[in-house]
Amino acid sequence: MDDLKTSLLEVGLSPKEADVYLAMLELGPSSVQDISKKAGVNRTTTYVMLEGLQRHGLMSSFEKGKKILFVAENPQRLVSLIADRLSKEAAKRDRLESFMPRLLAIFNAIQDKPKVRFFEGEEALDQIRMEMADTRDRIWEVYAADELSTSIAPRHNEQRIELTKEVHSGRVLIAIKPGSIPLYFDRRNIEARLMDFNAYPFSGSITVAENKMCIITSKSRGMGIVVESKEISDIFRAMYEAVWIQAKPWIPPPGWQESGQRKN
């Protein structure tokens, strides 16, 4: 009987509905008391299960004398029950497909929105730099070499060195404030050009790798913003290219590379 009960559960009956239905099949027309005893289900619950079976079209009742007897409908009704369920599921599927374009439009609209994260403080800025270094992609960077950038903690510069070591290639635009010298970085894979700090003074940096743009300012405790968006990254690269064409190649001062290698 266990395999029959399993089949009834697969059709959609509850465990107790299956017990009551199988009991009714064996008993024929019977009272609630007899069905309850045969199914091993208490009398109150048997009434509830009978109502459920009636909704499925698997049970009918009739009066005999002063008693009401219940009888199981032909098991062939189970086939119709499955057919009805399949028809309802097909209707649900058709309805879902009809408004799927609207659901996808909402989903894509959210996906297309830039993901923006804010960071503040030295530890947070460390996290940004390491995240950009982990992309291992071509970098596009512009930064100012001023008293703020040259006074950052040694580990910050170590991260810049690791970033420039790991990428396949990249570009760096440097705006050097008079009297400042850029911190050392590995130039083997990096092409560097010079911006006119006097014409375009600023402090901080912008770095793009893959579809991420990282903006860092060194003022106060330091603040960083990471924007993940292909469209925004592409806009930055286009503007960067326009500036790059006009910039002059940067020639490090004498001893710059040797000094940086000794310190790092």
Average pLDDT over residues 207-223: 82
Q: What angle do CA 228, 232, 240 make, to 5 degrees?
A: 120
> Looking at the predicted structure, is the pLDDT value of residue 48 above 90?
yes
What pLDDT does 263 receive?
A: 45
Average pLDDT over residues 137-150: 83
Residues 138, 208: contact at Cβ < 8 Å?
no
What pLDDT does 17 receive?
A: 92
What pLDDT does 253 receive?
A: 87
What pLDDT does 37 receive?
A: 94
Residues 82, 11: contact at Cβ < 8 Å?
yes
> Looking at the predicted structure, is the pLDDT value of residue 82 above 50?
yes
Q: Is 119 left (phi over 0), alpha (psi -120 to 50) or beta?
A: beta
Residues 163, 212: contact at Cβ < 8 Å?
no
What pLDDT does 256 receive?
A: 80
| Fold of domain 115-263 | Endonuclease; Chain A (3.30.870)
Collect all residues with Cβ–Cβ distance below 8 Å to 74 and sequence separation of at least 6.
Answer: none
Domain covering 2-75: architecture = Orthogonal Bundle (1.10)
Every domain of the chain and the residues it spans: 2-75, 115-263
Average pLDDT over residues 224-236: 90
Taking residue 128's Cβ as centre, other Cβ atoms within 10 Å add up to: 21
How does the average pLDDT of the chain come out, rounded?
82
